[in-house]
Amino acid sequence: MRAVLALIILSWTCVPSFAYSAKVLIIESYHAQYEWDESYLYGIRQEVGERAQIATFEMNTKRVPKEQYAAMAEKAFAKYQAMKPDVVVLGDDNALSYLYPYLYDEPISMVFLGINSNPRKLFADYPGQAKVTGILELPLFVKNVGEIKRILSRSPLKIWVLFDSGVTSDIAGEYIESQYQMIKKSLGVEVAIYLVDTQAHWQEMVRRAKEESVDAILVGLYHTLVDEEGNSVPSDEILFWTNQHSEVPLFGFWDFSVGKGKTAGGVVLFGEVQGRHVGRIINQLIDGKSADAIPIQIGNQGRPLYSDSEMRRWNLLPPKGWEGIE
């Protein structure tokens, strides 16, 4: 009797206090320390909680050469094969474009986020059994230009938009250019968009802005810039240098670019918001909803955010309703 009782107690103690309802693999285009990734990963985990076992894979494409992207995709697929998840989350453009051709015919649900390009052609080229939904991410260009015009109270107004030359920047730059061509007459603002590949070129553009009669710089992405030896330059170093050397006010598209020693503000996108949205989608999938029954959406829930110290530095007043930090 004692032996039976001991066996029952041992069996009970070996059973976990909860069981995961699903396995989720998040394939990041970038790396977990990148502010955008850190933010959306937090949002996903907050929503999903302990309903799913979550694992991640970092493609690290902000820091490795483009020639290595395909090899990183192979490693990501190997992790998928080893884990056999129920849901795969593809974070940002590189993860989608490189991994979708591996995963399109797998018996899984896929959720993408942070996608700047229209994925319709990719899906048409690879029809398969995987069920797909997700969130598109488009920089809030028109809203930002309108708000900058209101803050600076200046006419005519000249704005430069600076991006690095990464894949996401290339797509975002094309989108912003198309938006600008549609509304430039009604905006009454001169906008030039630059995709920059090196730290030296970026610094040159920042230094030239004042003499070129630029009124403000909109800072896009700056994470794939390289030094003269071709080495990746830390993104926080780029942004801090830009803050210290710019002679015109700086604004941004993403929350991580706003703050003391960064940009003064902007109508920004938040990684956590998209992460929470994806987390809620994952919960629906766990509850039995099919991914292809969930419409693809545009994550345009930007919020106006400003840095109090940076606004004061430029003698600017944030519009009413903007959220201050610091």
| % of the chain beyond a pLDDT of 70 | 94
Nearest alpha-carbon partner for 26 in 90, 106, 113, 99: 90
Q: Do 195 and 172 form a contact (C-beta atoms < 8 A)?
A: no
pLDDT for position 58: 98
CA distance 93 to 82: 23
Nearest alpha-carbon partner for 88 in 119, 131, 36, 123: 131
Question: Is domain 18-137+271-295 in CATH 3.20.20.70, yes or no?
Answer: no
Question: Mean pLDDT across the chain, nearest whole number?
Answer: 92
Q: Residue 132 pLDDT more than 50?
A: yes
pLDDT for position 183: 86
pLDDT for position 39: 96
CA of residue 94 relative to chain centroid, distance: 11
pLDDT for position 8: 35
The whole model's pTM is what? 0.85
User: Which whole number is the average pLDDT over 19-26?
Assistant: 88
Q: Identify the band that residue 184 occupies on the pLDDT scale cut at 50, 70 and 90.
A: confident
Identity of the amino acid at 115: I
Q: Residue 5 pLDDT more than 90?
A: no
Nearest alpha-carbon partner for 29 in 71, 73, 84: 73
pLDDT for position 7: 38
Residues facing residue 112 across a β-bridge: 90, 134
Nearest alpha-carbon partner for 250 in 321, 189, 301, 311: 311
Nearest alpha-carbon partner for 206 in 175, 167, 149, 249: 249
When mean pLDDT is compared across 75-79, 91-95, 185-189, 248-252, the lowest value belongs to 185-189
Sheet holding 323-325, edge to edge: 265-268, 303-307, 323-325
CATH for 141-268+303-325 is: 3.40.50.2300
Q: Do 253 and 285 form a contact (C-beta atoms < 8 A)?
A: no
The segment(s) of the chain belonging to CATH 3.40.50.2300 are 18-137+271-295, 141-268+303-325
Q: Contacts for 60-63 with beta carbons within 8 Å, 24 or more apart? A: 60/30, 60/31, 61/29, 61/30, 61/94, 61/166, 61/167, 62/29, 62/30, 62/31, 62/34, 62/166, 62/223, 62/224, 62/232, 62/235, 63/31, 63/232
- Alpha helices for 90-166 (secondary structure H): 92-103, 120-125, 141-152
Tell how strand 265-268 and strand 250-252 pair up: unpaired
- Alpha helices for 104-140 (secondary structure H): 120-125
pLDDT for position 155: 84
